[in-house]
Structure 1
Amino acid sequence: MYHRIVEQKLRATFGDVNRGNYIPVVNGFAEQGLHWFSGTHALSGERSGPHDIARWYGRLALLFPDLTFTIVEVAVRGWPWNTTAMVEWTDKLHDRKGVEFTNSGVHVVKLRWGKIVSLRIYCDTARLAMVLRTLAEQGVEEATKEPIISRSRN
């Protein structure tokens, strides 16, 4: 039953993101929760704490205002004090000229007592970097910014 509840909560959170509502995911992090994205681009790197995580989701919303996810599969294991969930997904978004881009990947989520202590995002980063270059060519300055990286995890 617990695993089903976690799966439903994750699906609901992805639904919020699909509607452009990033507040539930940001609020889902523990105070010193870790957020990590693979690659070397404006969305990559590691950050922790509510301020930097909220800044990252703000950047994501600015870069990809119509980003939508389709969940392929969710797997959950563990107990409330040490839960691991994996969400396989595909996504879709459009550049500023209306050209559609897609990607696929996995979120690996570690939870303790219902709060995210670690979120690691893996996807085709070469494809994402290409989309960011396209956006930069279309005048989206945020696509060229340095990653939002927390300087201290204390």
Structure 2
Amino acid sequence: MIKISTDKEKLDIRVIHNYLSNESYWAKGRTLETVKRSIENSLCFGVYIENKQVGFARVITDYAVFAWLLDVFILPEFQGKGYGKKLMEAIMTHNKLQGLRRWGLGTDDAHGLYKQFGFAPLHKPGNMMEIIFQNKER
């Protein structure tokens, strides 16, 4: 049975770091220290089956107007079973994340999943700006 929790004490940092640093396309090489710091400063969601962590996501938010969803994953051996959809349902219905004006995320390959929850391409992409520091920690 799947369980989703925001209790950071339950998170298996080794599983999260290994996936992000070694398996994800967006966080290759991310250090353990960076993963720990990102968890400390985010609302985190762990996905568990029989107390084993099989997925993760985190939200950066001010709890008032904006949230950014990132580091979303389900371990490969557990994909295709609807766990990603259940994780997204838990995130989007979380009581502290209701009433926000804007959500953001970036993805190369999960547009279909996120579209089910109302995400769409940028309304005004010309209004968005960014800075990417290539030599900085991931």
For the criterion TM > 0.5, the same-fold answer is no
TM-score by length of 1: 0.31
TM-score by length of 2: 0.34
Structure with more strand by fraction? 1
